[in-house]
Amino acid sequence: MSVEKHLKVTGTSEISWKDAIVQTVTEAAKTIDYITGITILEQKAKVNGKKITEYLVDLDLTFVIERDRD
- Give the closest residue to 20 by CA, choosing from 63, 52, 51: 52
Beta pairing partners, 33: none
At residue 3 the predicted structure's pLDDT band, cuts being 50, 70 and 90, is confident
| Distance of alpha carbon 68 from alpha carbon 24, whole angstroms | 27
**pLDDT tens digits, residue range 17-66?**
999 999 999 999 999 989 999 999 999 999 999 999 999 999 999 999 87
What is the 8-class DSSP label of residue 31? T
CATH architecture of 4-64: 2-Layer Sandwich (3.30)
Q: What is the pLDDT of residue 65?
A: 87
Q: What is the pLDDT of residue 70?
A: 58
What is the 8-class DSSP label of residue 67? S
Domain extents in the chain: 4-64
- Distances 24 to 32, 44, 58, 63, 69 between C-alpha atoms, Å: 12, 14, 9, 14, 25
